[in-house]
Structure 1
């Protein structure tokens, strides 16, 4: 059976990060009394979108990371991709929650890199 030790550590980190993004949403919903939907509350909306964006990008990033690791890529390559994804997600969430467009933008650049690099690696590995 194949094991993915590096991907496993990153997946565990991302699981905790998702809870860290989700819990403040629940607290804010209780505070503003808006239990369903996006709400007119700007703080709640930002928290929801930070979490939503996380759930839109991280699953594919982890899948790509596991596929690169399964193709016997050097550990340094797998680690670098995972670290880039972590940095991207931290920057993006920080930018969303603090209303900082530049930080959010850099977060998306890192996230895009963490998707494009392993995709290119996988295509090159399969074709070559």
Structure 2
């Protein structure tokens, strides 16, 4: 049975990050009294999208990371991909929450890079 210690650590980190993003939404919903939907409150809308975007990208990133690790990639490669994904998701969330387009953009670049490197690794491993 394959174990995925590196992917497990990153998955745990991402779970905590998701709780932090989700909790911020709950707090803002209570503050503005809008418990359903996106609301007209700009802060709440940004928090919802930061969390939503996190949910859209992290599951695939973690799956790819696990597949790379299971393909017996060097630990340093798995850690590097995980760090690139984590930095990307962190920057993107910061950019969304602070309305900083450049920070958000760099976050997406790092996220795309992590996904593409993982995909490339898996394709190369399958072909070779």
TM-score class normalised by the smaller sequence? over 0.9
Please state if 1:25 is matched with 2:25.
Answer: yes
**1:70 Cα deviation (Å)?**
0.3
**1:88 Cα deviation (Å)?**
0.2
- The residue correspondences of 1:1-128 to structure 2 (distance < 5 A) are 1-128=1-128
**1:32 Cα deviation (Å)?**
0.6
Distance 2:90 2:118 in 1: 19
Distance 2:126 2:70 in 1: 12
**1:117 Cα deviation (Å)?**
0.3
Please, what TM-score do these two structures have when normalized by structure 1?
A: 0.99
Q: What are the ranges of 5 or more consecutive residues in structure 1 without an aligned counterpart?
A: none
Q: What are the ranges of 5 or more consecutive residues in structure 2 without an aligned counterpart?
A: none
* Aligned length, in residue pairs: 128
Distance 2:77 2:2 in 1: 18
Q: Runs of 4 or more off by more than 4 Å in structure 1?
A: none
